[in-house]
Chains A and B, each alone.
Chain A
Amino acid sequence: MSEWEPKIVSFLCNWCSYGAADLAGVSRMEYPSNIRVIRIPCTGRMSPKFALAALREGADGVWVSG
């Protein structure tokens, strides 16, 4: 069996980190594929419910980025 890889649910702000992710992609930068991105309209949309829901569904980590 291959090495265990964590699943990290990432909540990215459309205007900031989501843009950064886009730019990273366009620039063909390499980064780990463990993150599962959820785009939110603004970090203000974030709620503790989301973080808990992610963990309940089995996420290993949660990352919120504005």
Chain B
Amino acid sequence: MNLMEHMGIESDRIHFSWISSAESTKFVKVVKEVTEKVKALGPQQHFKKNDAKVA
């Protein structure tokens, strides 16, 4: 997602991984890693659409 980064969204917000269905340990590891990285960036404000949603 180079273009995302190019237009000003932090590259650490978007993650890709490849985990086999047998790799639960890797799953846990990646979840932790992704959470940490996103947490470090703080809330995402840029792309959020702020006006009230119509139900």
Contacts and interface: CB of A to CB of B under 8 A. Distances in A.
**Contact between chain A and chain B defined by CB under 8 Å:** yes
Interface of A: 4-6, 8, 15-24, 27, 29-32, 34-35, 48, 51-52, 55-66
A60 B43 contact: yes
B35 A34 contact: yes
Interface residues of B, number: 35
Given A20-B27, A34-B35, A35-B31, A61 B14 contact: yes
Contact of B35 (A27, A30, A35, A56): A35
Given A34-B38, A35-B35, A61-B14, A55 B26 contact: no
Among A15, A21, A34, A60, which residue has the most Cβ atoms of chain B within 10 A?
A60
